[in-house]
Amino acid sequence: MMEKAVWCYLLREIDGVMQVCLAPKLKLVGSQNYVAGKLNAAGGHLEPNEEPVGAAIREIAEEQGVVVRGVDLEPKGLVVFLFPGHEQLDLLCYVFTTKRWQGEPQATTALGEPEWHVLDQLPFDRLPDSDRYWLPLALTGGLTSVVFHLDGDYHVLSHQLIPRSDTA
């Protein structure tokens, strides 16, 4: 059975410019080891019988020290990582954003010092390689899902974006 995880991105607007909170990933388990030291959002694996919204609330509290309510989470889509020949690494990630939370993002044992980045100036050289294909769409509302095929070293072999359609 495919592992399931969540990512939750904090967004804020300052002087009309949208920013996202990213921090270096420190605490790594299982298939997330490829993001060691890379900027990422709060997130992690779902606990047994846990729903994605509950996992997002828990992970953001644990990894960035802020409180988010479920009603303030906006689902942005799914990111699927498939590893042909290494199926034990396959991962399905539910992606959320929020513009409302209580507290200030802080460093924890899972994520380092938070950094705010303008959405159209994301530091792709400091993000996981796959993020360049989907993250800008997710943060601006256009992503429904993306499927990646990666090798055992987490290099992108292929990807398929499925953009959100407003005509349905």
Output the domain CATH number for residue 55.
3.90.79.10
Task: Print the domain residue range for 124.
Answer: 3-163
On the question of pLDDT at 166 being above 60, the answer is no
Residue 144: per-residue pLDDT:
84
The DSSP element (H or E) to which 98 belongs, if any, is strand 91-98
Residue 167: per-residue pLDDT:
44
| Residue 168 covered by a domain | no
Residue recorded with tokens 């019988």: 49
Q: What is the dihedral of CA 117, 119, 121, 124, to 10 degrees?
A: 80
Alpha-carbon gap, residue 50 to 31, rounded angstroms = 19
Q: What is the pLDDT of residues 73-109, one digit of tens each?
A: 999 999 999 999 888 889 999 999 999 999 999 999 8
| Residue 8 covered by a domain | yes
Q: What is the pLDDT of residues 130-164, one digit of tens each?
A: 999 999 999 988 778 999 999 877 789 999 998 77
For the chain, how many structural domains are there in total? 1
> Token pair of 49, please?
């019988």
| Residue 54 covered by a domain | yes
